[in-house]
Structure 1
Amino acid sequence: MSRLQAWARDLGMGARFAFGGGREGWIRTLLTGVGVGLGVALLLISTAIPGALAARYERGDARSTMSSEQPDTPGPDTLLITRINQTYRDKDIEGYALRAEGPRAPLPPGLTRLPAAGELAVSPALGELLKSSEGALLRERLAGPVGETIGDPGLVGPGELLFYLGSDSLAKSGPTDYRVDRVTAFGHDVAREGLDPVLMLMVVLTFVALLMPVAVFIATAVRFGGERRDRRLAALRLVGADSRMVRRIAAGEALAGSLVGLVLGAGFFAVGRSLVGSVSLRQRSVFPADLDPAPWLAALVAVAVPAAAVAVTLFALRGVVIEPLGVVRTARPARRRIWWRLLLPLVGVGLLLPLGGRGNDHGRFNQWQVSGGVVLLLVGITVLLPWLLERFVGKASGGPVSWQLAVRRLQIDSGGAARLVNGIAVAVAGAVALQMFFAGVEGDYTKSTGQDPARAAVAVMVHGGTGGGMDGLAGRIAAVPGVTRAVPLTSTQAAHRMPAEEETVQMTIGTCDALGEVAVLDSCTDGDAFLLTASASASGDGFYGGTARAGDELFIGDVRWTGSATADDPAPAKWTVPAGTRAVPGREDPTGALRSGLLVTPSAAPKELGDFADMRIFVQVDESGPDVLDRARNAVFASDPLVTAMTLREHQQAAGFSSVRTGLFFGAAAVLVLIGGSLFVSQLEQLRERRKLLSSLVAFGTRRSTLSLSVLWQTAVPIALGLLLAACVGVGLGAVLTSMAAQPVRVDWPSVLGMTGVGAGVVAAVTLLSLPPLLRLMRPDGLRTE
C-alpha cells in the first residue's frame, strides 16, 4: 500500500470515529465544529470587508457631482443641486435640495422621480427615525411630505441618513455662485487618493492583530477532547495499530471536525451576513449583499483550515507516546524550556526594529516584514504562557481546598489551561498595541479647527439677502428656549475703484455687542466705525489686508462688477468712510477667523449691500436644557433650508484615519463575539471532560461551592497571567509600532487598562454563563456510563 493510500485510509478511519463514536464522538465533533466554525465565519467576514468598502465607495461616487459637467446656462437636461446637510443630536444627516430646469434633468441614484417642491425623498433609516418618538424634533425640521424612499443603489449603507428635498425657488445667480451646482449627470470618476504609509500600516496591523486570535481559536478548537482521544488511540494500539497510524487517525478526527466547522462557519457567516444590515457603528453600515468574499480567498480558507487542523494535531502529538497500555502523557512531564520560546518574540522585534523612525517620509512599509514581525510577537504569547503558568503553579502550595484542587489540576495540565486563554491573551495584546499606536499618531491626523465652542455652539452662515432678514433670523433663533445669545454679523467687500483690481477691503457690520466678537473695543456706540489692526497687541499702524482711512470713498458690493447697471443688477453703491474712524485691535471670531478692514455699526453702515453680503449668526446656548441645539437648527431650517448651521468643534479628524478607526471598531466587535463564543465552547468542553471527576468528588461529599470555586480558580489564574503577559507584550509592540511611525513613545495607560478590563470582563461573563452547566455536571448520577 502506497503512503498516499495509507494516509487516505487512516484519515478516513479517524473521520468515522468522529461521526460514529456514539454520543461522545459526535458531541466532541460538534464542539470542535462550533469552535472552528466561529473562526471560519470571522475569516470569511474579514476577507469580504475590502469588497464591502469598495462597494460603499462606488455607490458614494455614483451619486456625487464633483466631476460632473456643469454648464453655465439652463438646458433641457440640467438640474440644480446644493448640499443642505443637517445635524440631529449626535447624528449627521446628508441632504440635498433639487430643482429640475428641464424635462430631461438627471435623477440621483435610488430615485424613480425627482421630488416635487417641498416634498422629501428619504433613506429607509431616516424614514424610520422620522416616524419614531426619537425623531419628533427632526419631524419639525423635515416637515414636508415623504414622497419616495431612496433605493439601495443611492445609499452607501442601509443605515445611512440621507434625504433629497424638492425646491421651486433654488437658483444659481451665475458662474461665481458656488453654493449651487448645475449638472447634467451624476457620477464621480476622479481616482481616489490612496492612504499614506502610516495609514496603510494601520490597516495591515488591524487585520493582523484581529485575525491572529481567530487562528489561535481554530488551533485550540481542533484539540478539543484530547485526553479522551488519546485513550481511544491507546486502545487502537492494543489491537495492532502502529504509532504513525494512530497519529494519522487522530489527524482524521481533527480533519472531520474542521470540515464540520467549515460547514457551520459558512452557516454562521450567512446568518451574520443577513444581520449585518441592521448593525451600525459610528453611522457606518454595510449592505449584506456587499459582504461577499472573493472566491479565491474563500477557497484559501476552505483549504487552509483543514490543513491547519491536521498540522496542529500532528504537532500536538509529537511528544506524546501512545502505547497499548496507556498514554505516557499522564506521567510527570519534563519542565518546559524557556530559551526557544523567547526566540519567536525576539525575531519579531528584530524584523520590526529596522523600520523604526520611517513615518510618512520614507515610502511605504514592507507589509510582509511588518506582518511577520507582529505575528511572531503575538505567537510568542502562546508559547510563553504555558511556561509562565507552569512556573507559577509549580511553586503554589497551601490555601483553601478549592485553591488546592485548582492548583493540582493546573499542575497536571497547564498546557490545556493555557490553550484556553491563549486566544484572548493574543486579542488583548493586539488591541493594546493598536490602541497605543493609534494614540501615538492621532495628533498627526487630528487638527485644531481654531473654533471656540465656549463662545458659540453654532455658527449660522447665510449668503446674500438683507440686513433686515438677518436681524429677523437672529431674533427667531434668540427666541428659542435655551438660546442665551444670537449675535449677527454681516460682511461684504469694498474697493476704492471699479472694477477692483487691487486688494479689496473687508467690511463687517454689526451692533457694538456683535463687533465685540471680532475686535477689542474700549468704547462703542451706534454710529461708530473702526479700522482693524493685526492683533490685540499691535499698534495703530499694524494694519493688514485691504484698508481705508476716514473720508475715503468706497464702492460696496460686487466690487469686481463690469456689467451695465439694470434694475435687477444695479451697480455697486458708493459710501464714504465716516470721520472719526479709529483703529482697534482685532480678535479671532468663534470660528477662528481673524478679520481685516472696517468695522461699522448699523446706523453708519451703507444702506444697500446688494446680494453679495455674507452673514453669520453666532449662537450661544445653555446646554443643560434638552435639545437646545436642535431647536435652534429647526428655526434656521424653517427660515431657509439653504442656510448652513455649522456646529463648532475644537478638533477635526482626517477622514482616512477616522475610517481606519471605524474599521477597527467593526473588527474588534466581531473578535469580541468570537472570543466570548469560543471561550464558552472551550469551557463547556473542559467541563464535559471532567464530568466523572466532578461527580466522583460530589459523591464523596465535596461541597459544590468548593468545586465551583476550584473551577473559577482554574479559569482565573491562567486568565490573570495571560492578561498580564498580554499587557506587557502589547505595550512593547505598541512602543515599537509608534517608533516606526516616527512618533515619541508614550504608554497610553487608560487604553492598556481599558482593553485588559474588556478581556477580563469577557472572561467573567463566560464564567458566569458556564456555572449552570457546571452545577448540572456536579451530580452523582454523572458516574453512570455506557
Structure 2
Amino acid sequence: MPAVGVALLLNLVTAGDDSLAWSTERLIATLVGGALLAGIGIAAATPVLADAGAVGLLRTRRVSAVLAARGIQAEPLATTRLVAGLAVALYLVLGGSAVLLAFETTPQYRSALQALGEGPQRLAVGGGDWEEYAAVTLEPAELQEVENALAAVPGVLMVTPIYELQLVGCDEYEPRCHPQFFVGTCDELGQVMVVSGCSDDRPGFITAVNPSNPNEFWEPERLPGDPDITVTVTGGGDLTLHLGPDLTQDVAATEERWVYQNQDAVFVPEHLVEATGVGAHSLQVVAVGGTEIRDQITATLPDGTFLYPSFNDSEVDSVARVRLVIYTLSAMAIGTALLGLALTTIDHARERRQVVARQLAVGMPARTLYSGLLLQALIPLVAALALATGLGWLAVQAWAAASGWPPLANAQTVGLVGTTTALGGLLVALATVPAARTRLTATLLRRE
C-alpha cells in the first residue's frame, strides 16, 4: 500500500508543470489517492518495520539488542499501533505546514512583509483623503512644497508626481489602449524596476524580458500608432510623443527587489509633462521599510495632503492568524499522540517490573537491561517517524506540483517538525526506564 501511494505521488512530482495540463479528475485522484494511501501505509507498515528492526537487532547478538528484539516481537500490537498513530499525526502536521507555507509564499504576503520589514516600499501621497483619491489635483506649486517636505525625511528614496495620461483616439474597450505611463526621470524609473535603455531625453515603450515564472509573465502590448502617439494629460491638453528606442525591464531582477513585475508600459520624461503646466493627483514615494517611516512622512506633510493606506498590510495579519491555527492544531495532534504513547508505554513498562526483577536476580547487569528497554521503545519510533517524514515531504512536493505553487516545504521545515516530534518520542522512550526500575523484593520474585 505505501508503494502504491509513493508511486502516485512520485508520478505528480516527476510530471512537474506538465501535470497542470491533466484533467481535474486525474489530478484529484492522483494527489488525494496517493496521499491517502501513503497515510494508510504508514499505519500498516509501522509494525512491519518494527519487526524488521527486531530481526536486525537479533543479528547483532549483543545482549541488550537481543533483549530489545525479543521485547518488540512480544509487544502487544496495540502499543505498536500507537506508535503508528504518532507517525500519522506527524504526516498530517507536515501537510499543515505546507498549507501555511502556501500562504507565506503568496506574492501579496511577501510584498506586505517586505514593506513592513527592511523594504523598500511604495507609498502614495495625495491632496485628498482616500475617498477623494484622484479627484483632487495638486497644483505645481503644491507639488513642489510636498516634494520638498518628503525629500527632508530620512529613508525616503524617491518622490515623483503621478499624472493621469490617456491615449487619444483609441478604442476604450481594447486593453492595449490603457497602458500605464511612468512619468519621471530614468533614475526614478530605476527605483521601481530594473531597466536598461532609458534616456531622459526621450519617451519610450517598455518591453519585458527574463521572466522568473513564464506562466505568470505579463508582456506589454504595443500601442496603436507606435512610435507616434498622442495622449491627454488630465487637467491639461493633448501631448504628442514620439517613442524612441525601447526600454527593457528585467522581470526577474525587478521581482527580486519588488516581488511583483512592474506594470508600467511607457516611460515619459517628466519635463515633457511639466511643460503642459498641469498638476498631478498624487505622488509616488519609494522609501525604506517599516511603519516608522510612514509616521514620519505623515508628520511632515503640509496641511491638506494625506498618506494613503497600504492595502496589503492586512496580509501579514491574515497569515499570522492562519499560522496560529495551524501551529495550535499541530501541537494538539502531536501532543495528544505523544501523551497516549507515553501513558501506554509507561504502563507496559510497569507491568514488566516482575520480569525485570527476575532478570536482575539472576545476575543480568542493570545497564544492559535498561539499554534493552530503551532500544525496545526507540526502534519502532525511529522507523515510523522516518517513514512519516519521508512520505510527508513527498506528499507536500506532489501538492506543490499539482497546484503550480513553488516547492512548499523546504528541508528546514521538514527537519524542524520531524526533529521536534523525534525529541518528544525520545523523551517518551526515556520515561520507560524509570518506570521499569524496581527494588528486588520477595513479592516481585514470587511466582504464583
Q: TM-score, normalised by structure 2?
A: 0.63
Counterpart CA distance in 2 for 1:660 and 1:456 is: 24
Q: Is 593-602 or 360-369 further displaced after alignment?
A: 360-369
Counterpart CA distance in 2 for 1:352 and 1:514 is: 48
Which residue in the other structure is 1:392 paired with?
53
1:457-472 pair list within 5 angstroms: 457-464=120-127, 465=138, 466-472=142-148
Identity, in percent, stands at 19
Q: Identify the structure with bigger relative contact order (alpha carbons < 8 Å, sequence gap 6+).
A: 2
Counterpart CA distance in 1 for 2:243 and 2:10 is: 62
Residue 618 of structure 1 and its aligned partner are, at CA, apart by 1.3
1:451-600 pair list within 5 angstroms: 457-464=120-127, 465=138, 466-476=142-152, 478-479=153-154, 483=155, 486-494=157-165, 508-510=182-184, 513-517=187-191, 520=196, 524=200, 530-535=202-207, 544=223, 556-557=233-234, 572-574=235-237, 583=244, 585-586=246-247, 588=249, 592-596=262-266, 598-600=268-270
- Name stretches of at least 5 consecutive residues in structure 2 with no aligned partner: 128-137, 210-220
- Structure-2 change in CA distance of 1:644 and 1:595 (3 Å): farther
Within the alignment, does 1:616 sit opposite 2:290 as a pair? no
Which residue in the other structure is 1:81 paired with?
none
Within the alignment, does 1:644 sit opposite 2:309 as a pair? yes
Amino acid at match of 2:269: L
**Which of 325, 330, 353 is matched with 1:668 structurally?**
330
Check the 8 A contact 1:532/1:583 in 2, yes or no: yes
- Name stretches of at least 5 consecutive residues in structure 1 with no aligned partner: 1-343, 558-571, 622-627
Query: 1:251-303: per-residue Cα shift (whole Å, max 9, x none)?
Result: xxxxxxxxxxxxxxxxxxxxxxxxxxxxxxxxxxxxxxxxxxxxxxxxxxxxx
Counterpart CA distance in 2 for 1:450 and 1:375 is: 32
Which residue in the other structure is 2:345 paired with?
683
- Structure-2 change in CA distance of 1:763 and 1:718 (3 Å): same
Amino acid at match of 1:717: I
**Which of 428, 439, 448 is matched with 1:779 structurally?**
439
- Structure-2 change in CA distance of 1:765 and 1:727 (3 Å): same
Which residue in the other structure is 1:246 paired with?
none
Q: TM-score, normalised by structure 1?
A: 0.39
Counterpart CA distance in 2 for 1:631 and 1:384 is: 55
Counterpart CA distance in 2 for 1:698 and 1:404 is: 16
Specify the SS of the correspondent of 2:164. Answer: strand
- Structure-2 change in CA distance of 1:426 and 1:645 (3 Å): closer
Specify the SS of the correspondent of 1:617. Answer: strand
Counterpart CA distance in 2 for 1:762 and 1:672 is: 9
Residue 402 of structure 1 and its aligned partner are, at CA, apart by 3.2
- Structure-2 change in CA distance of 1:421 and 1:633 (3 Å): same
Specify the SS of the correspondent of 2:207. Answer: coil
Residue 471 of structure 1 and its aligned partner are, at CA, apart by 1.0
Q: Considering only CA atoms, is the larger Rg found in Structure 1 or Structure 2?
A: 1
Counterpart CA distance in 2 for 1:585 and 1:696 is: 90
Check the 8 A contact 2:181/2:267 in 1, yes or no: yes
Specify the SS of the correspondent of 1:425. Answer: helix
- Structure-2 change in CA distance of 1:361 and 1:768 (3 Å): same
Counterpart CA distance in 2 for 1:696 and 1:633 is: 75
- Structure-2 change in CA distance of 1:405 and 1:663 (3 Å): same
Residue 373 of structure 1 and its aligned partner are, at CA, apart by 7.4
Counterpart CA distance in 1 for 2:428 and 2:345 is: 8
Specify the SS of the correspondent of 2:263. Answer: coil
Counterpart CA distance in 2 for 1:416 and 1:662 is: 33
Specify the SS of the correspondent of 1:780. Answer: coil
Residue 460 of structure 1 and its aligned partner are, at CA, apart by 1.0
- Structure-2 change in CA distance of 1:707 and 1:676 (3 Å): same
Check the 8 A contact 2:5/2:36 in 1, yes or no: yes
Higher helix share goes to which structure? 2
Counterpart CA distance in 2 for 1:507 and 1:370 is: 44
How many residues were matched structurally?
391
- Structure-2 change in CA distance of 1:367 and 1:604 (3 Å): closer
Which residue in the other structure is 1:404 paired with?
66
Residue 729 of structure 1 and its aligned partner are, at CA, apart by 5.0
1:239-318 pair list within 5 angstroms: none
Which residue in the other structure is 1:419 paired with?
81
1:35-184 pair list within 5 angstroms: none
Specify the SS of the correspondent of 1:535. Answer: strand
Query: 1:414-437: per-residue Cα shift (whole Å, max 9, x none)?
Result: 736523412122223445577789
Residue 715 of structure 1 and its aligned partner are, at CA, apart by 1.4
Superposed CA RMSD in Å reads: 5.6
Q: Is 386-395 or 715-724 further displaced after alignment?
A: 386-395
- Structure-2 change in CA distance of 1:573 and 1:729 (3 Å): closer
Check the 8 A contact 2:90/2:334 in 1, yes or no: no
